[in-house]
C-alpha cells in the first residue's frame, strides 16, 4: 500500500511542487515521502521550455529582451556551421549551484544551475530538424525553486514534424533529488496553437501523448485524455491551465484522472482536481 500511495501522489503532483490539500477527503496521502515526485515532471517540461525559447529564435540562438533567459546565462558555440555535416553545437551555462537561493533565477520563475549541451542537425524551422538536449553526468544540470534543487541526467530529443508541431522523445532520462531517482520514458506531440514569433514568450502550446515513470519496481503510465495547455506569458509560464490525464499503475488497478482546469475557467490559479476511484479532491499548489 505504501508504494500505491507513492504512485498516486506522484500523479497528483505532476507538473508542480509544494502541493497543499484543501479541506480533507478520504484519500490517504503521505506527502513527506513524495516531495521529489511532485516536482519531477514540472522540471523536465520547464527544461524543454527554456531550450525551446532559446533555440527557436532567429540569428543562431540569439537572446532577446523577451526571452525567459536572464542576461547572466552564457551560451557558448562549439560549432556554428551546418555545412560540416555534424550540425550546430552549443552549450548553455547557468553557472554553479552556489549558496541558496541556488543557481540563477530565470524569467519563468524557475532556478537553474549547471550546463545543457545542444546539437541541432539543420536549421530549426526546417521539417525533420532534430535537436538533441544532453544533460551529462560529468557537468550536471540542476533545476528547482532555489532552495531544493534536483539533478537531471540523460537526453531529450526534439524533431520538427511541421511548422507548428514538435515531437519530444526521451527513453533514458533520470531525475534525482534527495536520493530519490525517477526514470522517464516519453513521446509527446508539442503543438504551437498561438505563435507570437521568435522564442516562446506569450505563445500558447499544447502537449499530448504518453509518459512512463519508473521508480524501483513501480511503474506509472500517464496518457493525455485532453491535451495539456500552457500559456507562456511571464506570469503563468510554469503552469498548466487546461487538460486531462488518465493514469494506470503497475501495482494497482485504481482509476485515476487529473483535471488541470477544475473550475472550467482556464485560469492560471494553481489548482487541479484529482479523482481516484470516483472520489475527488481539489489541490492548490
Tens digit of each residue's pLDDT, the chain (285 residues): 333 333 333 333 333 333 344 443 344 433 222 233 435 666 777 888 888 888 876 455 544 456 888 889 999 999 988 888 889 999 999 999 999 999 999 998 899 999 999 999 999 889 999 999 999 999 899 998 899 899 999 999 999 999 899 999 998 899 888 888 889 888 999 999 988 777 888 899 999 999 888 888 788 888 999 999 999 988 888 888 999 988 887 877 878 888 889 999 998 887 888 888 888 888 765
Alpha-carbon span 274 to 280, nearest angstrom: 5
Contact (CB, 8 A) for 215 and 184? no
Alpha-carbon span 116 to 158, nearest angstrom: 14
Domains of the chain: total: 1
Determine which helix (DSSP H) or strand (DSSP E) holds 225, and give its type and residue range. strand 218-231
Q: Would residue 255 count as lying in a domain? A: no
Alpha-carbon span 272 to 243, nearest angstrom: 10
Q: Would residue 173 count as lying in a domain? A: yes
Report strand pairing: 180-194 vs 252-259: unpaired
Residue from 172, 101, 174 nearest 140 by CA: 174
Q: What is the pLDDT of residue 16?
A: 35
Q: Would residue 266 count as lying in a domain? A: no
Q: What is the dihedral of CA 231, 20, 43, 271, to 10 degrees?
A: -20
Q: What is the pTM of this model?
A: 0.81
Q: Would residue 271 count as lying in a domain? A: no
Say how many C-beta atoms besides its own lie within 10 A of residue 98's C-beta.
Answer: 10
Q: Would residue 225 count as lying in a domain? A: yes
Q: What is the dihedral of CA 218, 20, 31, 15, to 10 degrees?
A: 30
Alpha-carbon span 92 to 79, nearest angstrom: 14
Alpha-carbon span 17 to 180, nearest angstrom: 15
Q: Would residue 257 count as lying in a domain? A: no
Q: Would residue 52 count as lying in a domain? A: yes
Domain hosting 159: range is 2-237
Q: Would residue 153 count as lying in a domain? A: yes
Amino acid at each position: 500500500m505504501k508504494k500505491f500511495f507513492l504512485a498516486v501522489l506522484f500523479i497528483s503532483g505532476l507538473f508542480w511542487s509544494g502541493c497543499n490539500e484543501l479541506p480533507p477527503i478520504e484519500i490517504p496521502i503521505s506527502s513527506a515521502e513524495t516531495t521529489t515526485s511532485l516536482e519531477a515532471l514540472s522540471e523536465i517540461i520547464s527544461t524543454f521550455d527554456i531550450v525551446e525559447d532559446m533555440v527557436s529564435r532567429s540569428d543562431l540562438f540569439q537572446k532577446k529582451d523577451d526571452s525567459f533567459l536572464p542576461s547572466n546565462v552564457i551560451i557558448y558555440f562549439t560549432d556554428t556551421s551546418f555545412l560540416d555535416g555534424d550540425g550546430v553545437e552549443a552549450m548553455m551555462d547557468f553557472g554553479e549551484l552556489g549558496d541558496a537561493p541556488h543557481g540563477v533565477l530565470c524569467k519563468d520563475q524557475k532556478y537553474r544551475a549547471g550546463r545543457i549541451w545542444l546539437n541541432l542537425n539543420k536549421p530549426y524551422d526546417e521539417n525533420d530538424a532534430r535537436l538533441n538536449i544532453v544533460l551529462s553526468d560529468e557537468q550536471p544540470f540542476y533545476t528547482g525553486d532555489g532552495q531544493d534543487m534536483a539533478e537531471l541526467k540523460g537526453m531529450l530529443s526534439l524533431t520538427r514534424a511541421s511548422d507548428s508541431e514538435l515531437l519530444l522523445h526521451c527513453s533514458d532520462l533520470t531525475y534525482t533529488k534527495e536520493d530519490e531517482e525517477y526514470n522517464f520514458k516519453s513521446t509527446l506531440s508539442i503543438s504551437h496553437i498561438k505563435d507570437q514569433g521568435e522564442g516562446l514568450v506569450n505563445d500558447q502550446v499544447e502537449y499530448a501523448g504518453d509518459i512512463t515513470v519508473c521508480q524501483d519496481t513501480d511503474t506509472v503510465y500517464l496518457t493525455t485524455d485532453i491535451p495539456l495547455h500552457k500559456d507562456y506569458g511571464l506570469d503563468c509560464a510554469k503552469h498548466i491551465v487546461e487538460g486531462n490525464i488518465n493514469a494506470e499503475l503497475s501495482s494497482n488497478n485504481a482509476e485515476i484522472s487529473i483535471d488541470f482546469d477544475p473550475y472550467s475557467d482556464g485560469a492560471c490559479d494553481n489548482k487541479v482536481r484529482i479523482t481516484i476511484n470516483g472520489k475527488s479532491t481539489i489541490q492548490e499548489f
